[in-house]
Copies of this chain bind each other. A is one copy, B any other.
Amino acid sequence: MEVKLPTFESVFSIDCVIFGFEAGELKILLIERNEEPFKDWLALPGYIVEQDESIDDAAERILYELTGLRDMHMQQFHTFGEVNRHPQGRVITVAYYALIRINGQKEVRPITQYARKAFWHPVNELPKLAFDHSEIFQTGFNKIRRRLNYQPIAFELLPEKFTLTQLQSLYEAVLSMKLDKRNFRKKMLSYGFLKELDEKQKGVSYRAAKLYKFDRRKYAKIFHNDLNLDK
């Protein structure tokens, strides 16, 4: 009763756009390729999906092998399926993004030989990337820009304890626009999912700011209904 599948087979891969936030700048993780094609070019971390792993699992594995980053919470955002994306054959790619705390991570460093190194690069002034990776990046960037307004992704980029100014500067970096300080704070606090800590910023040479924490439980409670649908 086994019926063989027709055999239009294609190579199937994953590319990752990993965002981080550091020194008031939004950055992504790039690798320097050590293999043809595009040897020595900069590229998004990406590789081929194996037969016996789901694409979500593949995304985590590939990111780990190319950068050393583990247990990222990755989210698929688009699939790129033009015929000539890859010079050596038909390759269809699912692109994923993740948002991480740069400071919370130890040095990034490839495990396999396919990448020579991995490093953070500001999203402004990105160089040309291998394959269609510039387009993939742009699509992913647009996606998180959109989602910033209706998903709590900002808090994945900040340290666990953060100041309102840091939060604002993250919004400004992602949206590329200036926001009004008083309105921003009023609005953020009005949601009720930020927990004010009894702690202040340390090591600054000016008045230390209060630290806040994102309260995921409260967030879920507040947005339970709206969250799933629309906006």
> In the assembly, what is the distance between CA of A78 and CA of B90, in Å?
20
Q: Is A82 an interface residue (CB 8 A)?
A: yes
Asked if residues B143 and A230 are in contact (CB atoms below 8 Å), the reply is: yes
Asked if residues A51 and B142 are in contact (CB atoms below 8 Å), the reply is: no
Q: A3-B37, A56-B81, A79-B55 are in contact. Are A230 and B146 (CB under 8 A)?
A: yes
Asked if residues A8 and B145 are in contact (CB atoms below 8 Å), the reply is: no
- The minimal Cβ–Cβ distance linking A145 to chain B, given in whole angstroms, is 5
Q: Main secondary structure on chain A at its contact with chain B? A: loop
> In the assembly, what is the distance between CA of A91 and CA of B230, in Å?
23
Q: Which of B5, B92, B229 contacts A146 (CB 8 A)?
A: B229
User: B residues within 8 A CB of A139?
Assistant: 230
Asked if residues A145 and B230 are in contact (CB atoms below 8 Å), the reply is: yes
Q: Which of A9-17, A24-32, A101-109, A199-207 lines the interface with chain B?
A: A9-17
Q: Is A180 an interface residue (CB 8 A)?
A: no
Q: Is A54 an interface residue (CB 8 A)?
A: yes
> In the assembly, what is the distance between CA of A92 and CA of B229, in Å?
24
Chain A residues with a Cβ under 8 A of chain B: 1-12, 35-37, 48-56, 58, 76, 78-79, 81-83, 86, 88-92, 94, 139, 142-143, 145-146, 148-150, 175, 228-231
Q: With contacts A9-B11, A143-B230 known, what are 4 further pairs, Cβ within 8 A?
A: A1-B36, A5-B86, A54-B83, A79-B94
